[in-house]
Amino acid sequence: MSSINLKSNRIVALVDCNNFFVSCERVFRPDLVEKPIVVLSNNDGNIIARSNEAKALGIKMAEPYFKIKSFLKKNRVQVFSSNYTLYGDMSHRVMSVLQHLEPDVEIYSIDEAFISLPAGKEFDLTEHGRHIRQTVRQWTGIPVSIGFAPTKTLAKLANRMAKKNPQYQGVFDLTGCGDTDEILARIEVADVWGIGRQYTKKLNSQGIFSARDLKHANDNWVRKHLTVMGLRTVWELRGIPCIPIEEAPSAKKGIITSKSFGRPVTSLEELREAVATYVSRAAEKLRSQQSIANSLHVFLATNIFKPEKPQYSKSIMVTLPEPTSSTAVLIKYALKGLKELYRPGYDFQKAGVMLAEIMPESCRQRSLFDRTKSDKDLMNAQDKINRKWGSNTLRYAVSGYKKSWTFRREYLSQAYTTRWDQLPVVKASFPGGVTTAL
């Protein structure tokens, strides 16, 4: 354990949810604790999450479900379709707990957050991490691992140590290790944050195989071959902070919404439903970051894995009359683009939209006949209703109702936290043998 005076040190913690999708399912199915579980991708295609028990059986990430379906059944592996509504809500609960415990939190992904610990206090970091971990588990049911270090990159590696080594009980403080070279020597360079497959090949060709090797690499060579971002990674490995904690996520410069269909789609009517649905989701994301878009892309594609079928893949860019975040306006122009793209006689497997040329709403230039305020009020009202009563409570008719084309989810769990009719029922017993549902 270490005691760090934060008056002169900036300490970063990375909080990472353990096997997050699996953990979300287990919160409401305690009978599955210590049982092998896998979660499937859209259309129940590939395995995207595994419990430790499933990993022990040798089940690989991204393994196609149809190839190992009989193996999973033989080994009594519980299978779940992706329940993104549940996972998103549980993520929000975890992040809310972290923001309650600490003032400076950067939500990095659905299951990860960086914390910048406040200056001017003395912490036993390991004990503090255990307190955070216990509180998150008690309030949400989700287990997390926590790594402490002077930089984000080192915090990622510290978190990896906390997660992979049971002796640390989910918390690892890299700042208490003195010289970190011994630890970094045991970590492959491919596991360093920001080092992808191509960089790994390039580094290995120069005899750089571990995180320690990269830490001591020549700065000029790194900058030349890994760019400035690679050099920042090297400095972060040396304990020099180069990547700041962001209090608010930066606005996306492009928003894409696309999914494969649950079955081949041939009709223009169903494609219109799909594109309108995707535009609605993208527009909500656009408004959530107070942005507007000046153009959108629409694309269609057949299934490239069925070469015996006629193939078609094409996209179109539509420039809007003026930047907007109005769902109605975006749907109107997206459907115009779709009409130009559509060709009969093809089995379409995928469609999607991308909003581009995104800018802050504050940069909008007003015109004499501007109707922006009325559109904005309408969209705000719709978003507020959907946030309160559930996604798609209010939606445009063109996006369809039954949506038989949507992706397959044969093993979908219940919406335990977002639908009244699927909330868990808790029963309590009172003296006298009286039992009631709460």
pLDDT the model gives residue 362: 78
Contact present, 148 and 175 (Cβ < 8 Å): yes
Minimal CA–CA distance to 153: which of 227, 61, 231, 224? 231
Give all domains of the chain, ordered by start, each with its CATH number.
Answer: 1-178+408-438 (3.30.70.270), 179-249 (1.10.150.20), 255-399 (3.30.1490.100)
Q: What's the pLDDT band for 208 if we cut at 50, 70, 90? A: very high
Q: Mean pLDDT, to the nearest integer, of 179-198?
A: 91
pLDDT the model gives residue 250: 64
Tens of pLDDT, residues 120-147: 456 789 999 999 999 999 999 999 999 9
Q: Provide the residue count of the chain.
A: 438
Say which residue the tokens 């089995």 belong to. 347
List C-alpha distances in Å: 203 to 185, 198, 211, 221, 254: 15, 9, 11, 10, 31
Minimal CA–CA distance to 103: which of 210, 282, 247? 247
Give yes or no for residue 16 having a pLDDT over 60: yes
The pair of three-digit structure tokens given for residue 50, joined into one six-digit string? 């595994």
pLDDT the model gives residue 157: 95
Give yes or no for residue 85 having a pLDDT over 90: no
Looking at per-residue confidence, does 169 or 390 come out higher? 169
pTM, rounded to two decimals:
0.77
pLDDT the model gives residue 206: 92
Q: What's the pLDDT band for 320 if we cut at 50, 70, 90? A: very high
Minimal CA–CA distance to 245: which of 136, 162, 171, 150? 150
Q: Mean pLDDT, to the nearest integer, of 172-195?
A: 90
Contact present, 82 and 71 (Cβ < 8 Å): no
Give yes or no for residue 183 having a pLDDT over 70: yes
Contact present, 195 and 153 (Cβ < 8 Å): no
Give yes or no for residue 119 having a pLDDT over 60: no
The pair of three-digit structure tokens given for residue 123, joined into one six-digit string? 């912490």
Angle made by CA atoms 424, 427, 428, in degrees to the nearest 5: 145
Contact present, 4 and 125 (Cβ < 8 Å): yes
pLDDT the model gives residue 8: 40
Q: What's the pLDDT band for 422 if we cut at 50, 70, 90? A: confident
Q: What's the pLDDT band for 437 if we cut at 50, 70, 90? A: low
Looking at per-residue confidence, does 305 or 249 come out higher? 305
Residue 47 DSSP SS3: strand
pLDDT the model gives residue 361: 85
Q: Helix, strand, coil % (nearest 5) of the chain?
A: 40, 25, 35
Q: What's the pLDDT band for 392 if we cut at 50, 70, 90? A: confident
Percentage, residues of the chain above pLDDT 70: 91
List C-alpha distances in Å: 105 to 6, 138, 364, 370: 17, 20, 30, 39
pLDDT the model gives residue 372: 63
Say which residue the tokens 């304990």 belong to. 239
Beta bridge partners of 358: 293
Looking at per-residue confidence, does 363 or 266 come out higher? 266
> What average pLDDT is seen over the chain?
88
pLDDT the model gives residue 3: 41
Q: Mean pLDDT, to the nearest integer, of 83-105?
A: 91
